[in-house]
Chains A and B, each alone.
Chain A
Amino acid sequence: MATKILSVDDSRTIRLIVGKAFRPYNVTLVEAANGEEGLVVAAREKPELIILDVTMPVMDGVTMLAKLKEDPELKAIPVIMLTAESGRENVLQIARLGVRDYLVKPFKEDQLIEKAMRCVTLEKRPVPTPV
């Protein structure tokens, strides 16, 4: 059974990089472009992990994280923040809200996979055998 992961980022570039990082694994990736969309997708898809940007239009990642933690059905989903902002106030606020991990952009795909593996089980996709 594929692991379902939600990537919430207003940058299509980052969502593509996240998708590329998980491609070797048996993962179903669902996406959202801001916090508001992210909450809707999280409620509908019940992902096992959320990878969340901070600065986004409509609803930022900190607000989305706070709302996730208030929702009894969603609060247990582990969240990894993926952001270029590592200022003290930001990190303290996010950590206190109960984020599982924090990855500062720029990042290597390997780093994202390593942090994701601390939260969920990732199985390699079977390599198709040549005919």
Chain B
Amino acid sequence: MAAAPDINQYKEYARRYGIAAAPESVSRLTQLVARQDCCTDEIVRVIEKDPGLSSRLLRVANPGASDESEYTVGTVDEALMRNGIGCALLLAMGTPLSLALIKTFQTMLSLKLESVDVHQLDTLRDTHMRGSIGFAGKVTGHVYLRMSSDSGKAIAANILGLEPAELGNDEIRDAAGELLNIMTGNFKSNLCDAGLDCKLQPPKVGMTDDLSTPVEPGGGLERLAFCAGPIQIFVDVTANPWND
């Protein structure tokens, strides 16, 4: 109960500075996931109330399926029973991350980025740009951002208001690293507010032809995909809750 004055004070500062809160369903879900003694029924109720969260959970619970007709896990309850609470944590992280990425494109690039099914995009082949950022604490994991060189160049050019030909590799890498920072900073705030304290590591960006995504022992993986015209972005989130 001692935290109440802090929460009220935070609300006052958030109002003063114009800081927007995370969606209610996401905040609630993160708070539930953060409690190791929470019963699954409560988590099921929160997810079932939000069609977006429900459909994403089923996608995470059916990693091999290319569409809903191939799902072997069909309900939220079953998905949590079979895959554990880590699945719900991925949802709690993926939502602020997606919102931040879409908002970044809207506000800083004036581009409408859409969330699409991973299978709707061309698969990345050969050498591509990969950025990663790790987070460690009560929850441990990584966020990976992958895109073609052309997409990386188009994004950097748009953010900086330059022509793609004017950009060097350093500018392209730095812009991709900043995109990662913005995305992960937003979901980290949500995790910390729910009691899952963690710290971000500096982003690493480079070229690779390795398409594999390492998953932490006992953790889960969620794959997200986005497009804006010819720009295609793949985001992988891996997480392992209650690392301590």
Residues of A within 8 A of B (CB): 11-14, 16-17, 20, 55, 57, 83-92, 95, 101-108
Contacts and interface: CB of A to CB of B under 8 A. Distances in A.
Contacts of B161: 20
A87 B171 contact: no
B161 to A, nearest CB: 6
Given A13-B160, A13-B175, A85 B13 contact: no
Nearest to A80: B17
Q: Is the interface of B mostly helix, strand, loop or mixed?
A: helix
A17 B160 contact: yes
Contacts of A83: 185
B186 A92 contact: no
B42 interface: no
A12 B174 contact: yes
Nearest to A103: B17
B188 interface: yes
Contact of B181 (A55, A57, A107): A55
Given A12-B171, A13-B171, A84-B100, A91 B160 contact: no
A87 B100 contact: no
A108 B18 CA distance: 13
A101 B13 CA distance: 9
Interface string B1-14: 00000110110011
Contacts of A95: 13, 17
A103 B183 CA distance: 15
B182 interface: yes
Contacts of B104: 105-106
B107 interface: yes
A115 to B, nearest CB: 9
Interface of B: 6-7, 9-10, 13-14, 17, 19-20, 100, 103-104, 106-108, 156, 159-161, 170-171, 174-175, 177-178, 181-186, 188-190, 192-193, 200, 202
A122 B200 CA distance: 35
Contacts of B159: 13, 17
A11 B177 contact: yes
Contacts of A16: 160
Nearest to B201: A55
18 contacts: A12-B171, A16-B160, A17-B160, A20-B160, A84-B181, A84-B185, A84-B189, A85-B186, A86-B14, A86-B186, A86-B189, A87-B189, A88-B6, A88-B192, A91-B17, A95-B17, A102-B13, A104-B20
With a 10 A CB-CB cut-off, give which of B103, B106, B181, B202 has the most chain A CB atoms: B181
B9 A106 contact: no
B198 to A, nearest CB: 10
Given A17-B108, A55-B181, 17 more contacts: A11-B178, A12-B174, A13-B156, A13-B175, A13-B178, A55-B185, A55-B200, A84-B184, A85-B189, A87-B193, A88-B10, A88-B189, A91-B17, A104-B19, A105-B182, A107-B108, A108-B108
